[in-house]
Amino acid sequence: MKKLITLGHSPDADDAFMFYGISKGIVSSERFRFEHIIQDIQSLNLLAIDGKIDTTAVSAHAYTKIHKTYRVMDCGASMGDGYGPILVSKKEFASEEGLKIAVPGKLTSAFLLLQLYCDDATFVEYDFDQVVPAIINSKVDAGLIIHEGQITYKDLGLKMLLDLPKLWAQDCNYPIPLGLNVISRSLDLDIQIEISNMIKQSIVYSLSNIEEALDYAMEFGRGVSRDVAREFVLMYVNQDTVDFTSRGVHGLRFFYEKAFKKKLISENIELDLIST
């Protein structure tokens, strides 16, 4: 009987695109089968913190809480290369200081990134899909936008208040590390390596069969057009996703070092990568 492995990813088009090959059995194993746990990234972060999932996507921020029990894969990372989370509002503000800001979870990488450049504000947690409604309904002054909202916020009449990717680029030559794929250290090392290799194969398959994989990813696109879904997916699934070691790992180390210096995380994380 095949061993059951719990595999977590978010209900986002980019994650669905990455895991298309595994979801449809195009990439499979003789040794184990997967139970897909599809939840928002904040929920996946909490499952990993509680040790209740074998392998999952997590926020780079959340990994600081689980690095002793999970290892980072050398594939599957979501990197922002000149783009990423942004702070938006309905009206102009002279600065973000003193504002009430909606954030999509305090364990998200977006929130840690925001804190690097904005620490004099009141932060209120919302589900990621409720951040924009909170701004529009004036429950908050501004909101931290992730996912497709990075592309569509102008269509909703919102204005950029803080260009976090631009600020990051002034400090670091590498992309912003946002999401990571991790795997439990409790699994045998050969299983960790095989699963990581399967996920890499799934990503490579999707990038080689974009329209086919995009058909599946559109089921997770929250009603956006195919053009928007395609743009969003290919922003976050690319060669950095296939090979995290070439550029991504350097951005992640910088992220942790800067956050540690600002005392936003309790320790500077040493990375222990699963290489395939």
pLDDT of residue 77: 94
Mean pLDDT of 208-234: 85
Residue 271 to residues 41, 70, 73, 267: CA-CA distances in angstroms?
A: 21, 10, 10, 12
The gap from C-alpha 199 to its chain's centroid, in whole angstroms, comes to: 16
Please tell me the total number of residues recorded for the chain in this structure.
Answer: 276
Beta bridge partners, 89, equal: 142, 159
pLDDT of residue 96: 81
Mean pLDDT of 63-87: 93
Mean pLDDT of 79-84: 88
The pLDDT-based confidence of 149 (bands split at 50, 70, 90) is: low
pLDDT of residue 198: 96
Checking if the pLDDT of 182 tops 70, the result is: yes
Mean pLDDT of 88-92: 89
The model carries a pTM of 0.90
| Joined tokens for residue 176 | 């912003």
pLDDT of residue 67: 96
- Give CA–CA dist 251/72, Å, rounded: 14
Checking if the pLDDT of 81 tops 70, the result is: yes
Percent of the chain with pLDDT over 70: 97
Q: What is the DSSP letter of 130?
A: G
- Set out the domains of the chain in order of their start, with CATH numbers: 3-79+177-274 (3.40.190.10), 86-171 (3.40.190.10)
pLDDT of residue 275: 79
Checking if the pLDDT of 276 tops 80, the result is: no
The pLDDT-based confidence of 95 (bands split at 50, 70, 90) is: confident
pLDDT of residue 6: 98
Residue 147 to residues 127, 150, 171: CA-CA distances in angstroms?
A: 12, 6, 23
| Joined tokens for residue 66 | 């689980």
Q: Nearest-CA neighbor of 16 among 214, 264, 254? A: 214
The pLDDT-based confidence of 151 (bands split at 50, 70, 90) is: low
The pLDDT-based confidence of 175 (bands split at 50, 70, 90) is: very high
Q: Nearest-CA neighbor of 200 among 158, 162, 160, 242? A: 242
| Joined tokens for residue 62 | 């959340």
The pLDDT-based confidence of 208 (bands split at 50, 70, 90) is: very high
